[in-house]
Amino acid sequence: MKSKSFLVVISGPSGVGKKTIIKELTKMNPDFIVSISATSRNPRIGEIEGVDYYFLSEKEFIARIENHEFLEWAMVHGNYYGTLIQNFLKAKERNMNLLMEIDVQGGKTIKKKFPQDSILIFLLPPTFDELEKRIKGRGSENQDQINIRLKTAKLELLVANEYDYTVINDEPNLCAKEIMYILKGSRLDEKERTKRNH
């Protein structure tokens, strides 16, 4: 019997290292498909269609919303972002888990729609000072943008306890290993529930 495909949601404040952790997880386990989000914003320099995002016009994005083609979607900073259902269907067809990097709004939507098929993991910084240091260290935002990200981070940290698990990202490799233990445990729990229900 095939094991169940899960929606594995990775969320956390800007600068916490979500992309790094996702790279580590895919190295550790080949059973992950990394979800590619769709967006209505224009591509940035170096971004590739179908690799970084699926770039849709606002009109096309809205049409897909009306056609119920998204697992979740949201308007962020004036642009639409969302996860296409086709991403999960591809993962299920290949008996793989869909690894999703989405914000807390999207995470809550996934948990509400797929309570038995999703695992939500919130990444925490070692300290808020460390998070601020990481954001400033990227050198990709001005001070106003940094302040907005820090303000948003404080709000996101307040809802971290609504996720299934919280994991501190102090060292990426160890953090990824902890997440793998969590996922293995969740899969065992699922097998036990299946046994009890039959």
Mean predicted confidence (pLDDT) in 58-77: 93
pLDDT in tens, 5-27: 789 999 999 889 898 999 999 99
Residues 86-106: pLDDT tens digits?
998 989 899 899 999 998 888
CATH class of 7-196: alpha beta
Domain ranges of the chain: 7-196
Distance (Å, whole) CA 113 – CA 116: 9
**What is this structure's pTM?**
0.81
Nearest to 32 by CA among 40, 45, 22: 22
- Taking residues 54-82, report their average pLDDT: 93
Strands (E), the chain: 7-11, 32-34, 38-39, 54-55, 70-76, 79-84, 97-101, 118-124, 165-168
Confidence (pLDDT) at 175: 96
Tokens of 165: 């698990």
Residue 194 has pLDDT above 60, yes or no: no
Beta strands 118-124 and 97-101, pairing class: unpaired
Residue 76 has pLDDT above 80, yes or no: no
Q: Residue 196 above 80 pLDDT? A: no
Determine the residue type at 65: I
Q: How far apart are CA 150 and CA 146, in angstroms?
A: 6
Mean of per-residue pLDDT scores for the chain: 86
Q: For residue range 140-159, list pLDDT tens digits in order.
A: 678 887 888 888 888 889 99
- Rounded to a whole number of angstroms, the CA Rg of the chain reads 17
Residue 76 backbone phi and psi in degrees, to 5: -130, 120
| 38 and 21 Cβ atoms separated by less than 8 Å | no
116: helix, strand or coil? coil
Residue 1 has pLDDT above 50, yes or no: no
**Among all chains, which residue has been given the structure tokens 């269907």?**
89
Q: 10 Å Cβ neighbour count for 96?
A: 17
pLDDT band per the 50, 70, 90 thresholds, residue 132: confident
Confidence band of 3 (pLDDT split at 50, 70, 90): low
Least confident among 45-54, 69-78, 169-178, 186-195: 186-195
**Tokens 């999960």 sit at which residue?**
88
